[in-house]
Amino acid sequence: MAQRNGGFMEQLMRCTAGTDQSLPKIIDDNEYEMVIRAADCLPQKGTYWKTALMLAGEMALRSCEVVRVKLEHVDFAKSELTIPYKQKNGTTYERLIMPESVKEQLRVHLCKYAPKISAHQNYLFFSRIKGRGHITTKQVRYMMERIRDLTGITDYYGKAKGGERLFRLSFHTLRHYCLSKVCDNMGVYAAKTIGRHRTILSTMKYMHTSMKYKGEIVNQVFNQGSSQHSALEAQIQELKNLLANAVILQKGEPLG
């Protein structure tokens, strides 16, 4: 019995310490806004990093895709962004639709950094290192460390085999945030399209973490009767309001 209690207490301590695997690995809308605002507090490159964060949080781009975006990949007229993929048989491209918020941020980005972009092979996320066109994914990870400190979202849900902490807020978390919102509002197949997953199995995890999706299941299976009752009550109340507001005149006076 003591061993069982010890195991329970150990699990409880892991949970309260932010290392339990059952903790959510995504962020909510308020936390996403905190992340975007925090980019303005980064020294020298507020707009620079804000653009990168929005490409992940609103278009579900991976860090390896973001760092390779070039000027010629952006088509404002068609609201399209072309993403290059490096494969064994060469590089392939896929066109994505840009939200208006991302288009506006890209305009600001290009206006501010046009000379430097041109001097670095047209890479939007140019590197300061001489001879290198774009930044690396390692630099993106360093940036996210600053973002975690600025937002205070420093909790973690586990550790890697090497002992490194697995933080709830990472650059890839922003991709999860985007796909979770798509799954909530448009369904799992829409999330598969936006996420560019090869199989639906990769997208299913967004259904598992979607509280909205879980709520819809419970409501349809268990709360259907109560929802119908609530709808009937609303209709009755509406009729009462109509009767109360109706003024029937007889001989110029309302009926009592």
Q: What would the DSSP string read from start to end of 153-207? A: ---EEEE-TTS-EEES--HHHHHHHHHHHHHHHH-HHHHHHHHT-SSGGGTHHHH
Within a domain: 255: no
| For the ranges 10-14, 190-194, 226-230, the one whose mean pLDDT is highest | 190-194
Query: Do both 230 and 113 map to the same domain?
Result: no
Any domain includes 156? yes
Distance CA 96, CA 61 (A): 10
Total domains present in the chain: 2
Average pLDDT for 2-14? 54
The reply to whether 146 and 76 lie within a common domain is: yes
Position with higher pLDDT, 201 vs 252: 201
Q: Is residue 37 domain-shared with residue 164, that is, in the same domain?
A: yes
Q: Could you tell me the pLDDT band of residue 217, with boundaries at 50, 70 and 90?
A: low
Count the helices and strands in the chain (H runs, E runs): 11, 7
In this predicted model, what pLDDT tens digit does every residue of 222-256 receive, in sequence order?
A: 776 555 566 667 777 776 666 666 544 444 454 44
- Residue 94: pLDDT above 50? yes
Are 30 and 103 members of one domain? Answer: yes
pLDDT of residue 159: 85
Residue 47, domain CATH: 1.10.443.10
Q: State which of 169, 197, 228 marks the end of a domain.
A: 169
Query: What is the C-alpha end-to-end distance of the chain, expressed in Å?
Result: 75
- What's the rounded mean pLDDT across residues 191-219? 75
Length of the chain: 256
pLDDT of residue 8: 57
Residue 177 located in a structural domain: no
Percent over 90 (pLDDT), the chain: 46
pTM over 0.95: no
The answer as to whether 72 is a domain residue is yes
Look at residue 178 and tell me if it is in a domain: no
Domain match, 155 and 226 both:
no
Which of 162-171, 192-201, 219-228 is the most confident on average? Answer: 162-171
Answer left, alpha or beta for residue 239, where phi above 0 means left and psi between -120 and 50 means alpha.
alpha
In angstroms, the CA 208 to CA 204 distance is 7
Query: Are 70 and 162 in the same domain?
Result: yes
Mean pLDDT score of the chain, rounded to an integer? 81
- Angstrom CA distances, 59 to 32, 71, 176, stand at 14, 17, 10
Which residue in this structure is represented by tokens 């501010």? 112
- Residue 231 sits in which domain range? 211-244
Q: Is the pLDDT assigned to residue 15 strictly greater than 90?
A: no
Does residue 62 form part of some domain? Answer: yes
Pair 101, 224 in one domain: no
Residues 97-154: pLDDT tens digits? Answer: 999 999 999 999 999 999 999 999 999 999 988 778 999 999 999 999 999 999 999 9
Residues 152 and 95 in one domain: yes
pLDDT at position 173: 94
Decide if 194 is inside a domain: no
Instruction: pLDDT band for 95, please (50, 70, 90 cuts).
Output: very high
Q: Indicate whether 88 belongs to any domain.
A: yes
Q: Domain check: are 26 and 149 in the same one?
A: yes
Q: What share of the chain is helix, strand, coil (3-state, %, to 5)?
A: 55, 15, 30
